[in-house]
Amino acid sequence: MSATLTTTRSGAAKMVPDLAKPPVTKKSQLSVLLGAAFLMATSAIGPGFLTQTTVFTEKLAASFGFVILMSIVIDIGAQLNIWRIIAVTGKRGQDIANEVLPGLGYFVALLVVMGGLAFNIGNVGGAGLGFNVIFGISPAAGAAISACVAIGIFISREAGRAMDRFTQIAGVAIVLLTLYVAITSAPPVGEAALKSVMPDTIDMMSIVTLVGGTVGGYITFAGGHRLIDAGITGKEHLREITSSSVTGVTITGIMRIILFLATLGVISQGLSLDQANPPASVFRLSVGEAGYKIFGVVMWAAAVTSVIGAAYTSVSFIRTFSKKIDAHYRLAIIGFILFSTLVFIFIGRPVKVLILVGALNGLILPVTLGVLLVAANMKRIVGDYHHPKWMTAFGWLIFAMMLYMGGYTLINNLPKLFA
């Protein structure tokens, strides 16, 4: 076990050798860096991502390109700050929070785990829907099979490598299949490019929604915590870590743009989306019944990778609080996936809980980002590292905007819980 992994105990090293073992070659480091980027990206590209993108495109048409552009800029700012500070300290988000203010890390972990669990129920449901579209089996059966696939990743002897490879393959498949649909729909690319810089309307709420869905909650920590487990930390790795963080946002941005163009191509032909399942209708209207099957594959791949990312990152936020959880890390992840699946199969998607936790999820980014920005200026935490001033200013701007909009969303959703 490497001495740099201070939060990993000897028991964990035996239990999860691949998740914790530091890379020893340039090739293995590159694989982990790319895997971290794809873990973050595929955690973001889930059922909610697909639905949000199609719905907002239908609402804003070509002007949604401006929303995507702005959200990508904000996403990069948030991701750069969080990943760099995690990398410099070599500590997970909750441990940094506890050093800033004792007990704060427990609060942050609670928010992340609640959000991760609630959305994982939706991710499991999305995976079940994907199998339903592809094979015609019930969503419950599809969810159970998908859970077994996700669990199989963490049962693997080399779980970390298996997770990296699976998310990379799934991520590439999602992008290529959606690109085919986008080309087939023949979108007005010129108009989309123009409206991306000169929109007819600017919808601030949609920008905040996209940011929260890309780097909110557990998502932005997925890749950062993966790098800690792999031992890629310290100032000497900042260049590679910075590149990996931007790559993750870029992958989600590319997928968002491709799906935006596919949807724009459909609505520009005067066709109407099925409000019961907007993204599915985009694929079907573009390519016919074959497109509907392609949607099933995309939905399943997006959902099951989000299940993996949510479970892995949520458990990473509590593993340092308990020796037993740390020693049986993979079992905790498997339990997280099983619980999410059982809730979906036997209860369904608890709407009121999802509303509340969805609103809370909007507050997780400003809370965690604000804590890490404070930590970046505390020498007892970061040592002689000097966080770039422009990055700090950009981070606080994102903090203020997301705090306001997250609070607004929470306040407006609370009455629905008691209706």
CATH number at residue 268: 1.20.1740.10
- pLDDT for the residue 205: 74
122 contacts 349 by C-beta, under 8 angstroms: yes
User: What is the span of the domain harbouring residue 157?
Assistant: 29-417
- pLDDT for the residue 2: 37
- pLDDT for the residue 365: 85
Cβ-based neighbours of 320, under 8 Å, separated by 6 or more: 7, 92, 94, 95, 326
CB atoms within 10 A of CB 235: 14
Mean pLDDT in order along the chain per 10 residues (419 residues) = 38 42 62 88 87 90 93 91 93 94 92 86 90 92 95 87 90 93 93 93 80 81 89 88 92 93 93 87 92 94 93 92 89 95 82 55 81 94 92 93 75 61
Whether 20 is in a domain gets the answer no
Whether 19 is in a domain gets the answer no
Write the pLDDT tens digit of every residue in 328-355. 889 999 999 999 999 989 887 655 555 5
Whether 16 is in a domain gets the answer no
185-204: burial string, b at 16+ Cβ within 10 Å, e else = bebeeeebeebbeebeeebe
Identify residue 186 by its one-letter amino acid code. A
Angle at 409 between CA 407 and CA 414, to 5 degrees: 95
- pLDDT for the residue 253: 92
Whether 337 is in a domain gets the answer yes
Whether 155 is in a domain gets the answer yes
- pLDDT for the residue 158: 82
Q: How many CA atoms lie within 13 A of 308 on its CB side?
A: 36
Whether 179 is in a domain gets the answer yes
- pLDDT for the residue 14: 38
Whether 318 is in a domain gets the answer yes
- Taking each helix axis as running N to C, give the angle between helix 219-230 and helix 64-89, from 0 to 180 degrees, rounded to the nearest 10: 30
Q: How far is CA 84 from CA 87, 130, 225, 232, 288, in A?
A: 5, 36, 12, 11, 45
Write the pLDDT tens digit of every residue in 237-268. 899 999 999 999 999 999 999 999 999 999 99
The closest of 168, 132, 151, 158 to 229, measured between CA atoms, is: 158
CA–CA separation, 221 and 83 (whole Å):
8
- pTM score: 0.85
Whether 12 is in a domain gets the answer no
CB atoms within 10 A of CB 54: 26
Q: How many CA atoms lie within 13 A of 63 on its CB side?
A: 11
The closest of 121, 123, 211, 252 to 409, measured between CA atoms, is: 211
Total of domains in the chain: 1
CA–CA separation, 106 and 379 (whole Å):
22
